[in-house]
Chains A and B, each alone.
Chain A
Amino acid sequence: MFKYLIKKLIIIFPSIFLLAVLIFFLSKLAPGDRVYAYLELKGTAISGNRTIEEKDYKEIAHKLNLDLPLFYFSIHPKAFSDSLYQIVIPKQKDSLKSLIISKAKASDMLPIISFYGKKNQFHKWFGNILKFDFGISSIDGQSVIKKIGTALKWTFLYIILAYILTYGFAIPLGIFSVYYSNRKFIKIIELKLMILYAMPLFWLATLSVIFFTSDEVIPFLNVFPSPGIGNIYGNMSLVKQISIAIPHLILPSLIIAIHSGAYLAALIKKNMQKEMKKKYSSALLARGLGKKEVILKHIFPNSILPLTTLIIVSLPASFAGSVVMEVIFNIPGMGRLLYDSLLGYDWNVVFTIVLLIGIFTYLSYIAGDLLYSFLNPKIQPWK
């Protein structure tokens, strides 16, 4: 088992490196000019009036490491010189490229590998990340890590609330629907909940905001506070901030609980019915144990096993997948931050979030594997 753990831990580092390479090249595909974004932030250029001295452009590109090669090596046709990266102005680069292409011969197609050493953009970017320096946001100039930290606080609070409500709702419902599986009322509840699950989440959320937070359409139904997280100032203590925010977070968590709780309850029910068919449960029933005892003490613990890994594996997805809910309910969490950054072309923030969620997803899969084998000794992946 120890060997297996070491193996898993060793493989984490190259995987994260590969993920970083992938995300780095993805970030290079992003539209927009980084130099102009930097200038707009500093207030020296306005988006409509894009005139700037060549010298200044080069200076800032140098400052942002844009005049370095992309990676440790590159494979390129013979026609393109290995120092083409030094030209940073897009127009000049394009005209030079088209000039080279117009004069290319067949022999110029041959590939050439050139090595650049440590002085490249990826090395500097990755080195900064290892030092927890993710750069600054191009919307307000704040450091990315600080922005994500603030957002993470609210997302974390919201997700904890949502998880408690979801599982607090789904597990009893699953048990009830197995216990009373023949009764009519449980079938009606299940059907209603499955219809709720089929409703798009953003529609359910919008409708509940319309009907349950204001009394403009239907009076006396505004039982929940308005979207947002309330009046929170920077100098408040964390406990007070949370105590103000929690009433505002109840409605979104409740919606998540109803929406995904139905699905989870169905899953629990399916697992429990699978266990019910096994011989041990009928043996227990034949010995004269009560149905309630058999279900609660023997079937439920066995059927809950797959659910534990599901919780861990679904965590990163819920960090990212809360975009819609956070946008509708104005929660300043990770999803909202991602949404605003995407709309504002704030690529530093976007790709930092992507990298963090990628690492988180990967780690959660490994953790899920380990936890499953820990909880269920029958499954031993190290053997």
Chain B
Amino acid sequence: MKKYFWKISLIIFIFTGLFSGFIANDIPVLCKDASGYRIPVLEKNKNFVHKKNCKTLINPLIKYSYKSIDVKNAGFVSPFDKQNLSLGQQKHFFGTDQIGRDVLAGMIYGTSIALKIGFLSMALSLIIALIMSVYPSYYGDTLLRKTRVDIIIYFLIITTITYFVLNYELLKALSTIQIIFVIAIGIFLLIIIYYILGLLSALKKTISIPLDSIISWITKIFQSIPGILLVLILISLFSKPSIYNIIIVIGILKWPLIARYIRAEILKIKEERFIESSKTLGLKDSLIIWRHILPHIMTPVFIALSFGFASTILIESTLSFLGIGIPADHVSWGSILSQARQNYSAWWLAIFPGLAIFWIIFVFNEIGNYLESQNN
């Protein structure tokens, strides 16, 4: 029963998010005119469609879009009050806000925003977490041994790349041949430095790189920063508000959560017999990681992703509630909820979007808990 509840919730959430334009819109889903059948929702120029030109065949479920303004019902109309509707006009099931936008249509559009921000920022977090956790936790503090020459060369490469990234403007001035020439000279210089340094016996000694400690230290720093504060400040540093800024900032700040789960799992798997035997068989480290370890960390990754998804939605709705770093015309669950602050008697602006946020956070947390209990 409980499992079905989660599944159905998840399906409803993803379906509404993906097809929000088809569920709530002020233009028909399917109509017919002289040129044949048309799907106006998918057309780029949405103002082109008029009811007179195109005969409506299928209407969306909710006949309002998140942008459409119903002037007659402006100024916080409750769902239970008498609404000023013209003939054939649909009722505002969840009421309207101050300028007369339909709350239900706004919430359906908000679902797509939540879905987009949740999935994209979690994808970004996952990529960063995989880079930052798989190799370091496999090698630990002692397994990765390099000569001092190698370390110097790595350091040189990283600083050079950083230098060029910071001054990428200058690269634009050079032609492709010049850039290739510069890179060739750079590689040539690196090889020469490598061989010259190799002559010194003191630098040939191998030392182990404490990769795992370094990454754990970085993770600790990220986790000690008061979360919402940093999100607020980083987002307001962007000069133009956009939801992609939110995705980037959350993606960068949430990776330690996923990395921690991956690290714990790899530390466990590392000690298993099959890894030992593949090592004694002489398999390469990268092959062991990609073929034999990565398939095992899928469950912890999903656990971390579902917890991360819940907290991402919480951060997104908090941000849009505060109105920081998001476009002014942006409609999401949090921004609808924030309008309740303008008029405290408009309870429908607080209850319905709040329920949506609560429900999704609850479902994702429960999925995470369920997967975690299955894993142990």
Contact = CB atoms under 8 A, between A and B. Distances in A.
B347 interface: yes
Contact of A207 (B170, B334, B351): B351
A217 B226 contact: no
A342 B344 contact: no
A361 B227 CA distance: 12
Given A210-B350, A214-B345, A327-B322, A320 B226 contact: yes
A260 B173 CA distance: 56
B322 A323 contact: yes
A323 B169 contact: no
A13 B229 CA distance: 24
Given A101-B170, A109-B170, A198-B361, A210 B344 contact: yes
Contacts of A76: 167
Contact of A198 (B178, B229, B239, B358): B358
Q: Is the interface of B mostly helix, strand, loop or mixed?
A: helix
A106 B178 contact: yes
B237 interface: yes
A288 interface: no
Contacts of A79: 170
Nearest to B362: A198
Interface in B74-123: none
A365 B357 CA distance: 33
A10 B131 CA distance: 34
A328 B341 contact: yes
B345 A217 contact: yes
B354 interface: yes
B233 A203 contact: no
Contacts of A217: 345, 347
A101 to B, nearest CB: 5
B248 interface: no
Query: Chain A contact residues (Cβ within 8 angstroms of B): what range?
Result: 35 or more
Contact of A75 (B163, B225, B227, B236): B163
A111 B226 CA distance: 37
B228 interface: yes
A288 B229 CA distance: 52
B226 A321 contact: yes
A97 interface: yes
Contacts of A106: 174, 178, 181-182
Given A207-B350, A320-B229, A361-B225, A97 B358 contact: no
A321 B322 CA distance: 13
Nearest to A217: B347
B224 interface: yes
Contacts of B236: 30, 342, 350
Interface string A356-382: 010001000100000000000000000
B215 interface: no
A339 to B, nearest CB: 6
A200 B361 contact: yes
Interface string A9-52: 00000000000000000100111100000000000000000000
Contacts of A198: 358, 361-362, 365
A202 B323 CA distance: 13
Interface in B307-364: 314, 317-318, 321-324, 334, 337, 340-341, 344-345, 347, 350-351, 354, 357-358, 361-362
Contacts of A26: 233, 237
B44 interface: no
A202 B163 contact: no
Contacts of B314: 200
A121 interface: no
B226 A202 contact: no
B172 interface: yes
A149 to B, nearest CB: 19
Q: Is the interface of A mostly helix, strand, loop or mixed?
A: helix
Query: Which residue of B226, B239, B340, B354 has the most chain A CB atoms within 10 A of its CB atom?
Result: B226
B228 A320 contact: yes
Interface in A101-121: 101-104, 106, 108-109, 111
B238 interface: yes
B232 interface: yes
Contacts of B172: 101
Given A217-B345, A217-B347, A320-B226, A200 B170 contact: no
Nearest to B334: A202
Contact of A316 (B226, B237, B318): B226
Contacts of A77: 167, 170
Contact of A216 (B321, B340, B345): B345
A328 B321 CA distance: 10
A321 B362 contact: no
A217 B351 CA distance: 12
Given A31-B238, A106-B174, A214-B345, A203 B229 contact: no
Given A209-B344, A213-B344, A199 B358 contact: yes
B229 A202 contact: no
A248 to B, nearest CB: 15
Given A29-B237, A328-B341, A323 B170 contact: no
Contacts of B227: 317, 321
Interface in A209-250: 209-211, 213-214, 216-217
B357 A203 contact: yes
Contacts of B228: 320-321, 323-324
B169 A101 contact: yes
A206 B233 contact: no
B321 A324 contact: yes
A338 interface: yes
A40 B274 CA distance: 69
A323 B317 CA distance: 14
Given A26-B233, A327-B322, A339-B322, 20 more contacts: A102-B173, A104-B174, A109-B170, A109-B171, A109-B174, A198-B361, A198-B362, A206-B350, A207-B354, A209-B344, A210-B344, A210-B345, A216-B345, A317-B226, A320-B226, A321-B227, A323-B232, A324-B321, A339-B324, A343-B324
20 contacts: A31-B238, A77-B167, A79-B170, A101-B169, A106-B178, A109-B171, A200-B318, A202-B317, A202-B334, A203-B354, A203-B357, A209-B341, A210-B350, A216-B345, A317-B227, A324-B321, A338-B232, A339-B322, A343-B323, A361-B226
Interface of A: 26, 29-32, 75-77, 79, 97, 101-104, 106, 108-109, 111, 195, 198-200, 202-203, 206-207, 209-211, 213-214, 216-217, 316-317, 319-321, 323-324, 327-328, 338-339, 342-343, 350, 354, 357, 361, 365
